[in-house]
C-alpha cells in the first residue's frame, strides 16, 4: 500500500483567528490483531487528551468496528487511522482509511439474531453524531469517518 503523507500528527495553528485542533495519525497492518492495537492506541491518545470516559469508550468501540470491517471486507494490506479533536473540543473525528473501493452504507436490514456478525454499522449509527464514507486521498481507496460529540 502506498500512503501519501498524512497530516501532521499534532497541529496547533499560530495564525490569529484560526481554530487550533489536535490530530493524531497511526498506521497498522490489515490483520485481525490490528483491531486490538487500534483500540489500545485510541484509548491511550484520548486519555492523554483528557477526553471524558464516555467519549473514550465510544471511540474505542467504533475504531474497533471500523478496523475489523476494513480487515474483513477489503483486500487492504494496511489501514491508516486519524483522530482529530476540534479546537472547541466538542467534536472528535475518527477516520479509517483503507484500500477498499466499495462505499460503506448503512445496513438495509438488521442482522439475523443468531448471526455472529453484521451489527458493526448499526453501532456506528447509534453512537455517532454523524458518519459516512468517501474516497481516501491518503490510501487510494476509501475513508470511513465518524464524528462523536465530546461529552465535556
Give the whole-angstrom CA distance, residue 62 versus residue 52.
16
pTM metric for this prediction: 0.81
Give the whole-angstrom CA distance, residue 74 versus residue 104.
11
Question: Domains of the chain: which residue ranges?
Answer: 22-104+118-149
- pLDDT for position 109: 61
Give me the sign of the Cα torsion angle 95, 29, 135, 102. negative
Give the whole-angstrom CA distance, residue 102 versus residue 19.
33
Q: What is the DSSP string of 54-103?
A: HHHHHHHHHHHHHHHHHHHHS--SEEEEEEEE-TTS-EEEEEEEES--SP
Fold classification of 22-104+118-149 (topology level): Heat Shock Protein 90 (3.30.565)
SS3 41: helix
How many Cβ atoms sit within 10 Å of the Cβ of residue 22? 18
- pLDDT for position 12: 36
Q: Which residues of the chain have pLDDT under 70?
A: 1-20, 106-119, 151-152
**pLDDT tens profile 21-55:** 799 999 999 999 999 999 999 999 999 999 999 99
Give the whole-angstrom CA distance, residue 126 versus residue 137.
27
Percentage of the residues of the chain whose pLDDT score is greater than 70: 76
Amino acid at each position: 500500500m502506498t500512503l501519501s503523507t498524512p497530516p501532521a500528527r499534532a497541529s496547533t495553528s499560530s495564525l490569529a483567528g484560526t481554530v487550533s485542533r489536535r490530530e493524531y495519525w497511526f498506521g497498522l497492518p490489515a490483520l485481525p490483531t490490528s483491531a486490538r492495537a487500534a483500540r489500545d492506541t485510541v484509548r491511550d491518545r484520548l486519555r492523554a487528551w483528557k477526553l471524558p470516559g464516555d467519549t473514550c469508550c465510544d471511540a474505542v468501540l467504533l475504531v474497533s468496528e471500523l478496523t475489523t470491517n476494513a480487515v474483513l471486507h477489503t483486500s487492504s494490506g494496511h489501514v491508516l487511522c486519524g483522530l482529530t479533536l476540534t479546537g472547541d473540543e466538542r467534536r472528535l473525528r475518527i477516520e479509517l482509511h483503507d484500500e477498499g473501493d466499495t462505499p460503506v452504507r448503512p445496513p438495509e436490514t438488521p442482522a439475523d439474531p443468531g448471526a455472529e456478525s453484521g451489527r458493526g454499522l448499526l453501532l456506528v449509527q447509534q453512537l455517532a453524531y454523524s458518519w459516512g464514507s468517501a474516497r481516501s486521498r491518503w490510501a487510494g481507496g476509501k475513508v470511513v469517518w465518524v464524528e462523536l460529540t465530546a461529552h465535556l
